[in-house]
Each structure stands twice: as C-alpha cells, then as structure tokens.
C-alpha cells in the first residue's frame, strides 16, 4: 500500500503535510477566473494574504499571470511588477512559507531573491533555465501537468479513459528531469493539473484514482477550488461552488493529496480537521 508523503522540504523550511497543508491563493491579476481584480495591487494582496494566514493557510501562493482556459500571456516585466513587491513584503512581515506561481525562470529568480520558498510551475520546468534557478536556491517546486497551453488546453481535453495514464507518465518523466537537474527529491511535489486540459469526467477520474501518484514519495498537490467541472455537476457559477469544492478536496485528501490549493482557506481547514478525525476513528476501530 502506497502511503502519502509526510514532509516537503523547501529552501530550509520543512512543511509538515501530514494533516493536509493548505495553500492559500493570492492572485495579483485582473483576469483570474474567480478572484481576478480583487487583490490586483500590492496593498490588497498583502491584506488578503494575511487574512488567509489567520484562517489557517500553511503556504501563500502568489501569482501574477492567469492560466485559466483562454487566458492571454502576460509580459515578464508586468508579471514581475505584480508579484515581486508582494513576495518581498510577505517575507518581511510574516513567517509564511511563500510560493510563487509562475512558469517563467526570470520571475522565479526574482521572487526567490525576494524571499519565496517554492515555485509552483504549471509547465513543470518547461522553460529553459527554470530547473537551474530552483536548484540554485534549494527551493521547493510543484510539477504540474497541463495538456497544451492556457490558450489551447480545452480544445481537445483529455478524457477519462486516457487521463490517468497520460498524466502519470508525464509526471514520472518530470520527476526524473528535476532530479537530474539537481533538485532534491524531498523538494518536489506533483500536481495532476485538475482543469488544465481535462474533460469534467477526466478531472473526476484523476481525483478518484489519485493514489497512483503516491509512488514517488512526494506530496501530491490538488487544486479544485471552484473550477468548472464542479459547475458541470452542480449547475452553479464560481461563486456558488464552495460546497462542491470542499467535497472534492475531502475526497482528494482521503486518496492521498496532502497539499490543497484553495481560495477558501477556513473552509478547507475545517473540512480537513473533520476528515482526519473520522479517518482516525475508522483506523482505531479496525
């Protein structure tokens, strides 16, 4: 039986993921699918990040480029302008573990220089130089699967029958690539990329069979927060998808996910606390 990872070592910090680490989303963008524009300047982003920490976030994930389906690329200079001041202030004013959500090596370098600990890379080290930057800083990294690009990923999404094998093979190859580039296994995490080029049924299959991603001994990150596949099942727009989100997060944790990337930190933390208690009661009765 494969067991979930218990720790994630990120630039001299150890994140205990046993109880489920909550990664709170801070999008410093005008166009993210759910919270675009709400925290699009440094002051509002910092205020929001501190509120997420009070609610129980273990990690703050700062992003300056939307990767929702159909999103247009952002110039590097603009992405830097958005995220680096936020990371720098969070590093000065809090003890938070900070993640930079970027696929660009120049942004990763600047954010790590400003105090970030993790690079959350939707391209899984796809840009030349990214792996070297992460290895240089001893940072953690999330290797995510994306089918295509933000502009194309929903044109021919992966279906349920092919998605688990396709994603598993891809992530296995990226784990090997990362280690060969000098990134320690203990610094790696993997993310199957829910919503990134998968059909609704494909997303559901990935969560249902999440245990297959435990074999590398690294934390599995899952990001389902208010995504479209939840709307398909509930008929609700993003604002009304919290209950469906929490249901998916609980099932992902039960199947081995140990980092939840979320908009709603308090709800995720409460759900994890109850889930863990019930699972512990089942184990003690066995």
Q: Which residues are catalytic?
A: 227, 261
Q: How many residues does the chain have?
A: 286
Alpha helices in 199-264 (DSSP H): 200-208, 228-234, 242-254
Compute the Cα dihedral for 202, 245, 271, 42 and give only its sign. positive
Longest dimension (CA), the chain: 57
Instruction: Identify the H or E element spanning 178.
Output: helix 160-180
List, in sequence order, every beta strand (DSSP E) within the chain.
7-10, 13-16, 21-27, 59-63, 97-101, 118-121, 140-144, 188-191, 221-222, 259-262
Compute the Cα dihedral for 185, 182, 149, 32 and give only its sign. positive
Contacts of 27 (CB under 8 A, 6+ apart): 35, 36, 38, 39, 63, 66
Burial zone of 254 (CB within 10 Å; 0-12 exposed, 13-18 middle, 19+ buried): middle
Give CA angle at 263 (196, 251), nearest 5°: 70
């Amino acid at each position: 039986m494969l067991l979930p990872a218990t720790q994630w070592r990120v630039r001299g910090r150890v994140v205990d993921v046993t109880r489920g680490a909550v990664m709170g989303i801070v999008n410093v963008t005008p166009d993210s699918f759910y919270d675009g524009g709400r925290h699009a300047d440094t002051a509002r982003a910092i205020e929001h990040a501190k509120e997420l920490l009070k609610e129980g976030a273990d990690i703050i994930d700062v992003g300056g480029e939307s990767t929702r389906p159909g999103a247009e690329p952002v110039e590097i200079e603009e992405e830097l302008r958005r995220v680096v001041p936020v990371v720098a202030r969070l590093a000065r004013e809090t003890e938070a573990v900070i993640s930079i959500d970027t696929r660009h090596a120049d942004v990763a370098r600047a954010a790590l220089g400003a105090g970030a600990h993790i690079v959350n890379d939707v391209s899984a080290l796809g840009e030349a130089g990214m792996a070297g930057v992460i290895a240089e800083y001893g940072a953690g990294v999330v290797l995510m699967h994306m089918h295509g690009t933000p502009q194309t990923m929903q044109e021919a999404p992966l279906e349920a029958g092919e998605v688990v094998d396709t994603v598993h093979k891809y992530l296995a190859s990226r784990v090997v690539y990362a280690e060969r580039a000098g990134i320690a296994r203990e610094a790696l995490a993997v993310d199957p990329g829910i919503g990134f080029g998968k059909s609704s049924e494909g997303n559901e299959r990935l969560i249902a069979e999440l245990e297959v991603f435990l074999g590398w001994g690294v934390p599995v990150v899952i990001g389902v927060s208010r995504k479209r596949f939840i709307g398909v099942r509930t008929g609700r727009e993003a604002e009304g998808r919290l209950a469906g989100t929490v249901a998916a997060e609980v099932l992902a944790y039960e199947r081995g996910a140990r980092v939840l990337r979320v908009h709603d930190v308090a709800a995720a933390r409460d759900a994890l606390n109850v889930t863990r208690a019930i699972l512990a009661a089942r184990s003690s009765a066995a």
